[in-house]
Structure 1
Amino acid sequence: MSLTFRDMGLAIVRAIPSLERVARRLYTWLPHAFHDTPAKRLRAFFAGESDVAFIQIGAYDGVAGDPVRPILLDSPGWRGVLVEPQPGAYARLIQNYAHQTDRLVFLNAAISTSRGERLLFRIEDADVERLALPDWAGEIASLDESHLTRHFPHANITQICVKTLLFADVASNFADGRVDAVIMDVEGHERPILENIEFDRHRVRFILFEHKHMNVAEKSLVADLLGRRGFALKEYGRDTVAWRKSAAA
C-alpha cells in the first residue's frame, strides 16, 4: 500500500520520539480528507476493481459505525454477505439496504467455530434509554457475557439463542468461494473466527477487525497467524487492517 500522511508522520516519530506531541497536533489539524482510516485503506486497496466479493460479520444495522456502507453505496461492483445475529438490527439492516438486495445476501446468524446455536448477550434498547447509555451500547452484543458487564456493569444483560454458522458456510454463498474482503465487528470473538478462516481456499486479500478486545498474547497469536499467510498488518486505534502483501496496491 502507498504511504499516507499518517505513515510518514509515524516514521518521523519513530526516528525522533520527541516530536510525537507536535506530530499528533499537526495531524489533527489536517483536513479530514488527508486522514488515514481503515475505511479509506479498504477503498484504496480495491480501487479500480469492478468485482469485489466481501463478507461483513456483525453488520448490525448497516449504518451505525459502518466502514463498508459508503463504499457499497457508490461501488456497484461490490457484492457481499452481511451477517447479523440480533433480530431487530437484522431487520433494520435489510431495510437500510432495500435498494441493493440484488447484490447482497443477509444472514440472521452469528459466525463461530461450529454450526448450531449459542447464547448471545445484549442490552435491550429500553435499558439503553433507561440508563442513558451511549447509543453504541446496543451494538456490543457478544457471545461473551463478561464483555458487556465490563462495559456496563449496572445494565440489565439479556440473552437470546442465535444460530451459528462457520465462515465456510457463509462463503458458500459465492459460487466460486472467493472472498476478497472480510470485515468484522464481533465484540471479542475475533480470534476464533480468524483461526477458522481458510484464507487460501477463499483467496482472502483484505481483513478489517477490532483488536481492542484482545490481550497482548492474543494479538501476538493473530499477528503470527496472519503473517504466516502473507498478510501485512497495520493498527488504527482500536482496529487492525491486514492485507496480502503480494496484492498490495
Structure 2
Amino acid sequence: MSRLSHAARIAVSLGLPAGLLDRAPALLGTRYLAKAAMRARLGRGRPFVMVNVGACDGVLFDDVTPWLHRIPNARAVLVEPIPYNQQRLRKNYPDTERFVIEPVAITRESGTIAIRTFEAEALEAGTLPIEFIGCSSVTDTNLMSGKDAWGKEDANFSTFAHHLKDISVPSEPLQTVLDRNRLDHIDAFLVDCEGADWVVFDQFDIARYRPGMIKVEIGALPAAEIGQVVVKLKTAGYSVGFYGEDVWAFA
C-alpha cells in the first residue's frame, strides 16, 4: 500500500460515522490501529501487543502486521513455521527485542508436523507467483489435495506442482507459545493458517486476553468451522464483520 493510499485510508477510517464503519470491518480495523498509534505517540497506556499466527513475511497481502512499524514501542509474537518465511519476516522486523519469531506450527499437542509448501528456490527466483509465498498448509486444502483452484482441475497445476514439497516442522499448542513469551495482554490477535485456522483459534482463551481486535482467515475453512469461529466470537461479545476471506471482530 502506498503512503498516500495508506494515509487516505486512515483519514477515512477516522472520519466516517460509526454506522458506516460497522459496515466496513477493514476500515474499522484501520481506525482501531490508528488510534493505538496515536495513544502510543502520546505515551498513553501500556505497549501495544500483537500475536500473529501464520505471519508469513509480515508484509505480503497483510494490512495489519505492518502497523507494528507505525505504533511506537509495539511488540509482537510472530508465529511462522516455514524457514523461508522466517528469514523474510526477520528481515522485515529486525528488532529482536520487540518482535519475537516463533518457528513452530500451532497444533493441539507438542511434536512435529508435516507441512506442504513451495520450494524456496522457486519462490526466490520468481518462478512461482508471489502469492505462493503464503500458501503453505498442514490441512487437506486445495494445496494439499490437488482439488479446485490450483489443483488438478486447474490448467496451471502442472506448471507448479513439481515445486511442492513436504517439510517437517516443530509444533506446539497455542498456550505454550503464549506462556513462553509471558504475555499478560494482547491488543490484536491474528490467525492466517491456510485451513488450520479453527485449530488455532479454538485454543485461544478470549476471556483471559480479551484483545480489542481479532482477525481470522476463513477462506480455506469448511462451513462448519466458519460457523464455530463466528459463534466463539459472538458468544464472547464481539462485534463481527466479514471482508474478503477474513472475519474481523472487535471487543
TM-score range, shorter chain: 0.7 to 0.9
Asked if structure 1 preserves the Cα contact closer than 8 Å seen for 2:123 and 2:133, the reply is: yes
Unpaired stretches in structure 1, ≥5 consecutive residues: 12-33, 245-249
Match of 2:10 in 1: none
Per-residue displacement from partner, 1:151-201 (whole Å, max 9, x unpaired)?
322313310111112211222244353222111211011111111111112
SS of the equivalent of 1:223 reads: helix
Q: How does 1:56-71 map to 2 (within 5 A)?
A: 56-71=52-67
Asked if structure 1 preserves the Cα contact closer than 8 Å seen for 2:36 and 2:48, the reply is: yes
Match of 1:110 in 2: 105
Asked if structure 1 preserves the Cα contact closer than 8 Å seen for 2:14 and 2:31, the reply is: no
Return the alpha-carbon distance in structure 2 between the equivalents of residues 195 and 9 of structure 1: 27
Per-residue displacement from partner, 1:185-236 (whole Å, max 9, x unpaired)?
1101111111111111223332112122223332222111111111111111
Return the alpha-carbon distance in structure 2 between the equivalents of residues 195 and 55 of structure 1: 15
Asked if structure 2 preserves the Cα contact closer than 8 Å seen for 1:171 and 1:178, the reply is: no
Per-residue displacement from partner, 1:10-44 (whole Å, max 9, x unpaired)?
97xxxxxxxxxxxxxxxxxxxxxx99547515414
SS of the equivalent of 1:172 reads: helix
Unpaired stretches in structure 2, ≥5 consecutive residues: 1-12, 41-46, 152-156
Given residue 150 of structure 2, which amino acid in structure 1 is its aligned partner?
F
Structure 2 length as normaliser, TM-score? 0.76
Return the alpha-carbon distance in structure 2 between the equivalents of residues 176 and 134 of structure 1: 36
Match of 1:85 in 2: 81
Count of aligned residue pairs for this structure pair: 221
Per-residue displacement from partner, 1:62-120 (whole Å, max 9, x unpaired)?
2212223431112123111111111111012112212x222111111111222111111
Return the alpha-carbon distance in structure 1 between the equivalents of residues 209 and 18 of structure 2: 31
Asked if structure 1 preserves the Cα contact closer than 8 Å seen for 2:188 and 2:213, the reply is: yes
Structure 1 length as normaliser, TM-score? 0.76
1:192 maps to 2:182: no
Return the alpha-carbon distance in structure 1 between the equivalents of residues 197 and 31 of structure 2: 20
Return the alpha-carbon distance in structure 1 between the equivalents of residues 66 and 248 of structure 2: 18
What's the % identity of the aligned pairs?
26
Residue among 152, 176, 179 paired with 2:150: 152
Q: Residues 184, 3 of structure 1: CA spacing in aligned structure 2 closer, same or farther, 3 A cutoff?
A: farther
